[in-house]
Amino acid sequence: MPEADAPTVVILLWSAVGLLVILLLLVVAVFRRLSRIERRLIEDSGRQDVTEAAATESQPGGAFEMFLNEDPAHRELPKREQFAAYRQWRHERGMNWSNS
């Protein structure tokens, strides 16, 4: 009877190895998905900062209204000079897009 038990043990060992390999592949797949989700969350948080800045500028009275309220003399300037001063004001505060 011991001869009949040997193939059974080999089959059980190979089954256990196969299950361990499958388990290892599942763990790797879960870690890959988690890292992908983490990267997306990081990208979304960067987009959210840009979206908040854009929302501030697109709201009625946004950044341009802040510029005008900061110094009453800004309202007295001609439109061309107002916008030139506004561009300079944005540049000083780092609100412009960089060309890099």
pLDDT at 59: 61
Here the tokens at position 84 are 């030139």
Tens digits of residue pLDDT in 50-87: 666 665 555 666 788 888 888 888 889 999 999 999 99
pLDDT at 16: 97
Tens digits of residue pLDDT in 7-54: 899 999 999 999 999 999 999 999 999 999 999 988 887 776 666 666
Give the span between the Cα atoms of 22 and 19, in whole angstroms.
Answer: 5
Q: Using an 8 Å Cβ cutoff, are 67 and 74 in contact?
A: yes
Q: Using an 8 Å Cβ cutoff, are 82 and 70 in contact?
A: no
pLDDT at 65: 87
Q: How many CA atoms, within 13 angstroms, populate the side-chain half-sphere of residue 95?
A: 19
